[in-house]
Structure 1
Amino acid sequence: MQAQPTQPSITTSAGPRDPQWVDRLKEEYTALINYIKNNKSEDNDWVKLEPANKECTNWKGKCWVVHNLIRYEFDFQFEIPPTYPLAPIEIEIPSLDGLTPKMYRGGKICIDIHFAPLWQKNAPKFGIVHALQLALAPWLAAEIPVLIEEGKIKKD
C-alpha cells in the first residue's frame, strides 16, 4: 500500500440523523469511487467496500495486504456513528480480534494515538475514504507483517 494523496474534503457536514445525509453520501461515494479508481490505475488495489444496509450506516468490505509475495485478505466492517462526521469511524476486523494489543474488543483497530486526533482536527471534512486511507491502510501495513512473523496469522 503506497501512500496516496489525501482525498478532497467533504463539504456537507451531516450525519445519519441529519436531513442532508443523502447529500453527504453523494460526496462520500464520489470520494470512494475516485480513490478506488486511482488505486486501480496505479496497480495499488487493496480494498473493496459496500454499504451493508439501505441507509448506508453500516458498511462491509474486504481488504488485503501482500507480505513476502503472499496475499492475506480480511473482511472488515464499520458503522457510521450517530455523531458522525464529528466522531471518527471505528473499523472492525473481526477475524483478528484479540491478536494484537493495537485492537479493541470486537476487532476494532486502534485509532486513538494517530488517527482520532487527525480526525478531530479535520472534522467534518474527513469521510469514509479518509478512514480507509489514513487509519485502516497504515494499521494493516504496520500490524499484519508483525502478526504474520509471530505466527498469529497463517495463510491457508
Structure 2
Amino acid sequence: MVDECTRKTLSNIPLLQTRAGPRDKDLWVQRLKEEYQALIKYVQNNKESGSDWFRLESNKEGTRWFGKCWYMHNLLKYEFDVEFDIPVTYPTTAPEIALPELDGKTAKMYRGGKICLTDHFKPLWARNVPKFGIAHAMALGLAPWLAVEIPDLIEKGIVTYKDK
C-alpha cells in the first residue's frame, strides 16, 4: 500500500522512543528533544533530495507549532501557513494539522482549516505510538494531502498563484 518513495522517506526519519505528552513535564522535555532531532533529520534529507517543502517552529513549551509549507505546481510555488497544537493525549493522539487560509475550500478539511487525516493517517499513527512524531505527521499526513488536494484546488481555480 505504501510506495517505495514513501517507504524510503519514512526509513530516513528517526523513530521516537519517549512516550510522553505535554503533561509529563520532564519526560516531555526528552520527547521534545527527540521530536526536534527527527524534524532536523527530515528537513536535512528533504534539502539533500531537492524536496524541501516546509518550515516549522514551536512556542517555548513545544505545544503550539506554526510555520509555512509549500507545494510546487507547474513550476509555481504555492505557499500556505501551517499550524497545529500538540494534543494533551499526545503521542497517543496525532496532532491535527491546519492550513487556516484553505478553510472551507475543500471537503477534505474540517472547521478551522484542519486537514482530514482520519481514513489513512490516523490508523497508521495509532499502530506506531510512540514511534511516530511531528516529522512523521508532516511526511505521512500533510505531504500526501498537499499532493492530492492542492493540484485539484488549483485546477478548479479555488487556489490561485500569488506573485510575491
The normalised TM-score by structure 1 is 0.96
1:64 aligns with 2:70: yes
Superimposed CA distance per residue, residues 63-93 of structure 1 (whole angstroms, 9 cap, x where no aligned partner): 0001111110000100000000000110000
Cross-structure match for 2:148: 142
2:16 to 7, 10, 23: 10
State the 1:62 CA deviation.
0.4
2:152 paired with 1:127? no
| Residue 22 (structure 1) aligned with residue 29 (structure 2) | yes
Give the Cα separation in 2 of the matches to 1:43 and 1:69: 14
Using the alignment, how far apart are the partners of 1:54 and 1:27 within structure 2? 15
1:54 CA drift (Å): 1.1
List per-residue Cα deviations over 1:36-58 (Å, max 9, x = no partner).
0111111110010000x210100
1:103 lines up with 2:109 in the alignment: yes
Q: What corresponds to 2:53 in structure 1?
A: 46
Matching residue's letter, 1:123: V
SS of residue paired to 1:59: strand
1:5 aligned counterpart, secondary structure: helix
Report the Cα distance in structure 1 between the residues aligned to 2:14 and 2:76, rounded to whole angstroms.
32
CA distance in 2, matches of 1:33, 1:5: 14
Find the counterpart in structure 2 of residue 35 from structure 1. Answer: 42
Question: In the comparison of the two structures, how many residue pairs are matched?
Answer: 154
Amino acid paired to 1:46: W
Tell me if the contact between 2:99 and 2:114 (Cα under 8 Å) persists in the aligned partners: yes
Q: What letter is aligned with 1:23?
A: Q
> Which blocks of at least 5 consecutive residues in structure 1 are unaligned?
none
Any unmatched runs of 5+ in structure 2?
A: none
**In structure 2, distance between residues paired with 1:69 and 1:38:** 21
Structure 1 residue 8 displacement after superposition: 2.2
Q: C-alpha distance in 1, partners of 2:49/2:144?
A: 18
Contact 2:14/2:41, CA 8 A, preserved across alignment:
no
Task: Tell me how far apart the structure 2 counterparts of residues 131 and 5 of structure 1 sit (CA, whole Å).
Answer: 12
* C-alpha distance in structure 1 between counterparts of 2:127 and 2:92, whole Å: 10
Q: TM-score, normalised by structure 2?
A: 0.91
In structure 2, how many angstroms separate the alpha carbons of the residues matched to 1:117 and 1:38? Answer: 25
Q: Hey, what's the Cα distance between the residues in 1 that align with 2:108 and 2:24?
A: 33
By how many angstroms is 1:5 displaced? 2.0
More helix by share: 2
Q: CA RMSD in A?
A: 0.9
Matches within 5 A, 1:71-110: 71-110=77-116
